[in-house]
Amino acid sequence: MTEVAQKLQQVVFNKASRMVSNQYSRNIFKKLTDCHTGNMGVHHYRCESSDCGHERYQFHSCGNRHCPNCGGTKRDQWIANKETELLPTAYYHIVFTLPHELNGLIMGNRVAMYNLLFESSSYTLLKLGADPKFLGARPGIISVLHTWGQNLSFHPHIHCIVSGGGENNGEWVSDKSQNQSYLFPKPIMQKIYKAVFLKNLRALLASGSLQVGETDTTKLIDEVGKKHWNVYAKRPFSGPKTVLEYLGRYTHKTAITPHRILEINEKEGTVTFKYKDYRYRGTDAEHKEMTISIDEFIRRFEQHILPFRYVRIRHFGYLQNHGRGKRLKELFEKLNLPAPPAKMRIPVYVTIREKYGIDIRVCPKCKEHHLELVATHYRSGGTISIG
């Protein structure tokens, strides 16, 4: 772990675990503080060779999805599973955003508003996919919720990976977009998405399902209704490999990772990090640095802690969870493709060996013999000795 990563844990997250008012957030910050420390427990290994006798202690990770130091293994396993579901078609990247004027309403009603974001974006894609003019079938959609901007601001949006082809009554329908440039016309997506979101938002407000405080919701809806809602429709990925690379960057990402943090100055109580200003994309001005107080950093980071057990990666169209395995098997058969391989759990040591060329089972001292597990010490204080 780098010095910055250690400071992020022991200075920033440790302070957050004591200062934030929300108990749920405090518990998460405590886990992030204890990650890869003795407080989480440890595996005790020893070289199998008595001549070597080297010992190693592997501290347990917290495994929390908000942790900047965790998630790599889960991400790799998830990507390996998704790889078995890719079909021979173009895949498109579409991003649905919301006007910042809605941020206050979203902050007080995260589950309902995040659900509305998922529902409105997927409805838009499925509605246009069903139109024979564009596809005439159900595309496969993977939707990922992000709540942050590069400077840790609150910016809820949905990243969608959408198949160019789709399924219609068990038959495969190929991509109809001209030159595979864009899946659906951007102006039409924007119009449908905005209309559906506002219609359902009005219904939620009318039913009293949202906490609005003193917000003038009539004025708010009128204001955002006059604004332009951005839907970013990007060119398709160049192939399945780039789809998976994208998935690796975005699906299990946290608000900020240590590599973007330049300095944590405990004496001055500040955090300096780098970010991209996309208003100046492609120029030197795109790359910037920001210094804020540790307290402000904690405030911004906490905004991106997801509600308890909230699912931020969802599937729609022919990739929807119900019956997905059977549906994909039938599509593979229709396309005369080998049946998708069964999903297997990849051991951590295999993933690390493939990515970094390192076998963590081999003793780092003698480099000949394997390490054997001697005992496991748990966070609760319990210990299981092996042999």
Same domain flag for 17 and 159: no
Same domain flag for 149 and 218: yes
Q: What is the arithmetic mean of pLDDT over 1-11?
A: 91
Assigned domain for 339 exists: no
Assigned domain for 341 exists: no
Assigned domain for 61 exists: yes
Q: How confident is the model at residue 328 (pLDDT cuts 50, 70, 90)?
A: very high
Assigned domain for 359 exists: yes
**Residues in contact with 200: Cβ distance below 8 Å, sequence separation at least 6, in sequence order:** 116, 119, 120
Contact between 175 and 90 (Cβ < 8 Å)? yes
Q: What is the pLDDT of residue 384?
A: 53
**Residues in contact with 107: Cβ distance below 8 Å, sequence separation at least 6, in sequence order:** 154, 303
Count of alpha carbons within 13 angstroms of residue 324, beta-carbon side: 21
Same domain flag for 149 and 203: yes
Whether the pLDDT of residue 376 is over 50: the answer is yes
Same domain flag for 48 and 78: no
Q: What is the pLDDT of residue 282?
A: 80
Same domain flag for 185 and 240: yes
Assigned domain for 379 exists: yes
Assigned domain for 108 exists: yes
Same domain flag for 275 and 175: no
Q: How far apart are CA 92 and CA 235, in angstroms?
A: 6
What's the pLDDT tens digit per position in 151-188?
999 999 999 999 999 999 999 999 887 666 788 999 99
Same domain flag for 87 and 97: yes
Same domain flag for 136 and 36: no
Question: Distance of alpha carbon 304 from its chain centroid, rounded?
Answer: 11
Question: Distance of alpha carbon 147 from its chain centroid, rounded?
Answer: 10
Q: How confident is the model at residue 292 (pLDDT cuts 50, 70, 90)?
A: very high
Assigned domain for 62 exists: yes
Q: How confident is the model at residue 248 (pLDDT cuts 50, 70, 90)?
A: confident
Same domain flag for 162 and 212: yes
Assigned domain for 58 exists: yes
Burial of 127 (0-12, 13-18, 19+ CB in 10 A): middle
User: DSSP letter string over 245-301?
Assistant: HHHHHHTT--S--GGGEEEEETTTTEEEEEEE-GGGTTSGGGEEEEEEEHHHHHHHH
CATH code where residue 209 lies = 3.40.1310
Q: What is the arithmetic mean of pLDDT over 111-135?
A: 97
Which amino acid is located at 8 in the chain?
L
What's the pLDDT tens digit per position in 250-268?
777 888 989 999 999 999 9
Same domain flag for 28 and 134: no
Q: What is the pLDDT of residue 379?
A: 77
Which domain, by its residues, includes 282? 1-70+257-303+347-387
Same domain flag for 165 and 200: yes
Residue with tokens 């078609």: 89
Per the structure, how many domains does the chain have? 2
Same domain flag for 141 and 277: no
Whether the pLDDT of residue 53 is over 60: the answer is yes
Q: How far apart are CA 56 and CA 25, in angstroms?
A: 33
Whether the pLDDT of residue 72 is over 80: the answer is no
Q: What is the pLDDT of residue 386?
A: 55
